[in-house]
Amino acid sequence: MPKSALIIEDDADIAESVRYNLESEGFVATVAATGEQGLALALNSPAPPMVIVLDLMLPGMDGMELCRRLRKENQTRRVPIIILTAKTSEADRIAGLDLGADDYIAKPFSVRELMARVRAVLRRTDEDAGERYDDGRLTIDFTNVLATCDSAPVKLTNKEFRLLAALAKKHGRVVTRQQLLDEVWGYTYYGDARTLDVHIRRLRQKLGGCGDCIETLVGVGYRFLGCGSRPGNSLGNKHG
């Protein structure tokens, strides 16, 4: 099956440049000029695109709302989204990444850099595909973005699930705070690192009896320990 890409961009020159370069790398690229058209193309195609390049400043439905909608739909909740926009403030970057975008590139931009970012997000997606963690109490289905604790579903946001997945895939190894920020928020994130600690705290709370699967190493980062061999839900003294 050919690689597919969806470009949602109302500037015809930019859209054509991105389309040309994606097709030069073997993609079949489709262009939408409005948020509504982009949503329809993403959801109504026989298969979702492999990557979406999304402008924020669109006529009609803006890119922020579109990103939110795409992350709520089963067909597109795991499709990598790269935001491409002239809105370059820190608040805009954080808002886009917190909505579930995988990367953020400011206009004007280098097409070579954009192609490198596309390859990077697709590598991460390939690494995530077809994997599952199960220790008897906590299960994590990386493919279908599902987690359960003691057979009960755990409702997580996209960001919380990505944090859990990033830690679980390095089971037993220390993951620094910067590594987690880079992997989950992206290399372009320059916000307050304390947002990571807030997300970890919420993740533990939502995991309930499985919340002790994540260990805090003060001043360093976190480590995923699993919880199959540790019944009960005491958080002990190791959580910060």
Strand duo 132-134 + 103-106: pairing: unpaired
121: left (phi over 0), alpha (psi -120 to 50) or beta: alpha
In the chain, what percentage of residues exceed pLDDT 70? 88
CB 161 within 8 A of CB 147: yes
Tens of pLDDT, residue by residue over 152-189, are: 999 998 889 989 999 998 888 888 888 888 888 775 55
Tens of pLDDT, residue by residue over 26-50, are: 999 999 999 999 999 999 877 889 9
CB atoms closer than 10 angstroms to residue 19: 19
Q: Which residues are 132's β-sheet partners?
A: 141
Tens of pLDDT, residue by residue over 6-22, are: 999 999 999 999 999 99
Calpha distance 110→57 (Å, rounded): 19
What are the DSSP calls for 87-127, one per residue? Answer: --SHHHHHHHHHTT-SEEEESS--HHHHHHHHHHHHHHHHH
pTM over 0.75: no
